[in-house]
Amino acid sequence: MTAPEALLAAFTGPVDCRRCESGPVRLMLVGRSADRTETIWLAFEGTAPENLPALIESATVQRASAQQYRIASQDRSWLVTAARVHLHRDVAAAFYEAVPPRTVPWLKRLAWRAGLLVAASPAGRWLIRAPKKDSPA
């Protein structure tokens, strides 16, 4: 369980505040993480404040009480009532950095290169062209 006034997320730059009309998630904040170079999504299962703009700058989100969260941006703040909050991080860059791409076997590379060379020449296209079938009368 998160302690009161605990920092849930810190954004840097513009933060997109998306309101959802259906489903349990009614508000989603999307932006760049302040501590890492990744996109984060913070989804609130609850009501969004009416005066929350569609775009805010460099926001922080803290737990205010058991089911209330404070979104603060520069000199303004908003209180969100939500049963649950979900934090999602885009870890694709870290994943692809940790897992190197598989090298293509040399035989497969050679076969593709030969096939493309054949298809590039007129004689090769004539060889691989499918014969035309006569239509029944």
- Between 2-6, 82-86, 118-122, the lowest mean confidence (pLDDT) is in 2-6
Q: pTM of the entire structure? A: 0.66
pLDDT at 33 over 80: yes
pLDDT value at residue 61: 93
CA dihedral (39, 64, 28, 7) in degrees, to 10, reads 0
Vertex 52 angle, CA 48 and 58, to 5°: 115
pLDDT value at residue 110: 95
For 117, phi and psi rounded to 5 degrees?
Answer: -65, -40
3-class secondary-structure state, position 52: coil
Handedness of CA 111, 117, 123, 125 (dihedral sign): positive
CB 63: neighbour CB atoms within 10 A? 18
DSSP tag of 104: P
Give the strand pairing for 55-57 and 39-47: unpaired
